[in-house]
C-alpha cells in the first residue's frame, strides 16, 4: 500500500504540474465548458418558457449541470491525452520500469484528473453564479451533485487511460473524445426527458448519463430524484471502465 501511494503521489504531482503550468492543457478545460454555458444558458434561455418545462431553479441552472458533468468527463479525457503523450515521448516506459506497483499509476492519474476537474469546476461554478444561476439545493445536495461528478470524472479517466495504454499515441485522441461527447449529448441536454420525442427519447431513456444528469439537476434544484439509480449507474460505469483501464495497463506492461 505504501509503494502504491508513493507511485500515485509522484504521478499525480507530475500530471498536475504539467497541466497547470502548460496553458495549452489548462485553458481548454476551462474555456470549453464556459463557452457551452454561455451559448446554451444564454442563447437558449427562452427554452425554459416552453409548456411542460418545469425546473424551479431556472434554465441557467438546468444547463449548468450539463456543463458541470461535461467538464468532469473532459478533465478525465485530457488526462488520457497526457498519458498518450507520455507514451509518444517514451517517458511512460520509464515510469513502468520505475514503479514497483503499477496499479499506483492508475490511482495517480485518477487523482490528478479529479483535482484538475475540481479546479475548473470551481471556476465554472462562480462563473454561473455571476451569470445569474439560482441554486435551490443546500450544502448536502451540492455535495451529492459533486459526488456524481467525481464518479463521472473517474470513469472518463479510466476510459482515457485504457485507450492510451493500448494505442500509445496521441492519434487516439479522437477515439477518446467522440464516444464521451456522443454519450453526453444523447442524454437530455436542452430539455427534460419527458419533452424529448422520437428516437432520441428512446436512446436517452437507456443512456446511463440520463439518470446521472437528472439526479444532478434534482440536487441543484433542492429536490433530489433517482439518486440511488444515478449513483448505481455511475458506480457501474466506474467498475466496468476500471477493468478496461487495468487490462490496458497489463497490455502495456507486456509490451503489446
The phi and psi torsions of 151 (rounded to 5 degrees) equal -65, -40
Which pLDDT score is estimated for 47? 66
pLDDT in tens, the chain (256 residues): 555 666 677 777 877 877 777 766 667 667 777 777 777 766 666 666 677 778 788 888 898 999 999 999 988 998 888 888 888 877 777 777 666 666 777 888 899 899 989 988 888 898 888 878 888 889 999 999 999 999 999 999 999 999 988 888 888 888 998 999 899 989 998 888 888 888 999 999 999 999 999 999 999 998 888 899 999 999 999 999 999 998 988 887 776 5
**Which grid cell sits at 129?**
453564479
The SS3 call for residue 54 is coil
Which pLDDT score is estimated for 31? 75
Residues 28, 63: Cα–Cα separation, whole Å: 19
- Are the C-beta atoms of 234 and 152 separated by less than 8 Å? yes
**What residue ranges do the domains of the chain occupy?**
2-254
What is the pTM (predicted TM-score) of this model?
A: 0.90
Residues 69, 73: Cα–Cα separation, whole Å: 6
Residues 217, 147: Cα–Cα separation, whole Å: 13
**Which grid cell sits at 32?**
470549453
Query: Which residues, including other chains, have CB under 8 Å from residue 30's CB and lie 6 or more apart?
Result: 120, 123, 124
Which pLDDT score is estimated for 215? 95
- Are the C-beta atoms of 224 and 234 separated by less than 8 Å? no
- Are the C-beta atoms of 78 and 28 separated by less than 8 Å? yes
Residues 58, 161: Cα–Cα separation, whole Å: 37
Which pLDDT score is estimated for 219? 95
Amino acid at each position: 500500500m505504501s509503494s502504491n501511494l508513493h507511485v500515485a503521489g509522484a504521478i499525480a504531482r507530475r500530471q498536475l504540474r504539467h497541466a497547470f503550468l502548460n496553458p495549452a492543457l489548462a485553458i481548454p478545460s476551462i474555456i470549453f465548458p464556459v463557452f457551452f454555458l454561455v451559448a446554451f444558458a444564454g442563447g437558449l434561455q427562452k427554452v425554459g418558457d416552453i409548456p411542460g418545462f418545469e425546473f424551479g431553479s431556472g434554465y441557467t441552472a438546468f444547463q449548468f449541470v450539463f456543463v458541470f458533468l461535461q467538464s468532469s468527463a473532459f478533465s478525465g479525457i485530457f488526462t488520457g491525452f497526457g498519458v498518450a503523450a507520455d507514451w509518444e515521448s517514451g517517458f511512460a516506459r520509464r515510469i513502468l520500469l520505475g514503479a514497483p506497483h503499477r496499479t499506483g499509476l492508475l490511482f495517480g492519474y485518477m487523482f490528478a484528473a479529479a483535482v484538475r476537474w475540481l479546479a475548473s469546476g470551481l471556476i465554472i461554478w462562480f462563473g454561473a453564479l455571476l451569470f445569474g444561476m439560482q441554486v435551490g439545493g443546500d450544502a448536502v445536495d451540492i455535495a451529492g451533485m459533486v459526488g456524481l461528478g467525481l464518479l463521472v470524472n473517474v470513469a472518463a479517466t479510466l476510459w482515457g487511460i485504457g485507450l492510451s495504454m493500448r494505442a500509445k499515441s496521441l492519434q487516439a485522441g479522437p477515439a477518446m473524445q467522440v464516444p464521451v461527447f456522443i454519450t453526453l449529448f444523447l442524454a437530455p441536454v436542452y430539455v427534460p426527458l419527458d419533452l424529448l420525442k422520437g428516437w432520441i427519447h428512446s436512446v436517452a431513456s437507456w443512456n446511463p448519463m440520463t439518470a446521472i444528469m437528472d439526479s444532478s439537476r434534482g440536487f441543484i434544484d433542492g429536490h433530489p430524484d433517482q439518486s440511488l439509480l444515478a449513483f448505481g449507474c455511475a458506480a457501474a460505469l466506474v467498475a466496468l471502465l476500471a477493468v478496461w483501464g487495468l487490462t490496458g495497463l497489463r497490455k502495456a506492461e507486456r509490451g503489446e
